[in-house]
Amino acid sequence: MTKIIFMGTPAFSVPVLDGLIDSGYDILAVVTQPDRAVGRKKEIKMTPVKEAALQHQLPVYQPEKLSGSPEMAELMGLGADMIVTAAFGQFLPEKLLQSVKHAVNVHASLLPKYRGGAPVHYAIINGDEQAGVTIMEMVKKMDAGDMISQKAIPITDADNVGTMFDKLSMVGRELLLATLPDYLAGKLSPEPQDEDQVTFSPNIAPEAEKISWQSTARDVANQVRGMSPWPVAHTIWQGARFKLHDVSVVDGSGRPGQVIDRTKKTLVIATEKGAVSLHIVQPAGKPKMSIQDFLNGLGKTINIGDQFE
């Protein structure tokens, strides 16, 4: 059976790892990002892939930087046939790639569109009708290897980054498992990417998280969906950050950012074209809450004509 070193970090990677184990591949080691402090309490947490690997009693490696590390030298000595990565979060040194017969990546976009670390976010923010997964060969240049297989799925209005990651992780698992036997047998011919069609999806910059009310209602809604559940889009209310987790496009007009409708259960904000109704919000320093709970509490003084920045 093919001997594999698996590299991944977030929840997206776990079904892929589980699928390889369930299919009988010999997982020699799992490489993931180091444990990090998360949340307000800065509690040290393992990555989802580390938790899964430990459940399967697999050896785990967590180098801060893989290149030149003692861990990399040890991995190269394991005698693996191939490396499989899925949202690992680090570049793989060429020396490591050349130490195995095959190295493939499960990338959550329809390459050559959206190379980089946030392809699902950009697909939703840009209003794409579909997203997908590409199984690709790994090369030194980021997400630039030849494509082995690809599968697309629709993005619905109900989807956000969280739901699409859940769907695409399962697509990636099934596509990888369907691809590997023929690929390893030399029956598939990977296809080079069309460099003229390449686009990039860099990690979301903090300044990109702020809502521009001068956008259309559809663009605002896409931005909110494309940043939920992380990093979360925000606007400014009473001088403080006010996060938006869920909104919908509705009819209405007014000055961009202005409250144009307010009941005990609804709050509607005008954009440059159309309006959005807020559903799940998070005032500064508070947990996220329904708009009804906000309007009955912290937001009880908010009125039609008030302005979000």
Q: What is the pLDDT of residue 42?
A: 84
d(CA 232, CA 230): 5
Task: Judge whether residue 245 has pLDDT over 90.
Answer: yes
Mean pLDDT of the chain: 96
pLDDT digit string, tens, across residues 62-95: 999 999 999 999 999 999 999 999 999 888 999 9
Q: What is the pLDDT of residue 41?
A: 78
Q: Which residues are annotated as a binding site for (6S)-5,6,7,8-tetrahydrofolate?
A: 109-112
Q: What is the pLDDT of residue 217?
A: 98
Give the residue-averaged pLDDT of 286-292: 96
Q: What is the pTM of this model?
A: 0.94
Question: What architecture does CATH give domain 205-305?
Answer: Roll (3.10)
Task: Using CA atoms of 197, 127, 157, 223 in order, give the dihedral in degrees to the nearest 10.
Answer: 130
- As a whole-number percent, the residues of the chain with pLDDT over 70 amount to 100
pLDDT digit string, tens, across residues 15-40: 999 999 999 999 999 999 999 988 77
Q: Which residues are annotated as a binding site?
A: 109-112
Domain 1-195 has CATH 3.40.50.170: yes
Q: What share of the chain is helix, strand, coil (3-state, %, to 5)?
A: 25, 30, 45
Q: What is the pLDDT of residue 15?
A: 98
pLDDT digit string, tens, across residues 139-183: 989 999 999 999 999 999 999 999 999 999 999 999 999 999 999
Cis before 34? omega within 30: no
> In the chain, what are the domain boundaries?
1-195, 205-305
pLDDT digit string, tens, across residues 209-235: 999 999 999 999 999 999 999 999 999
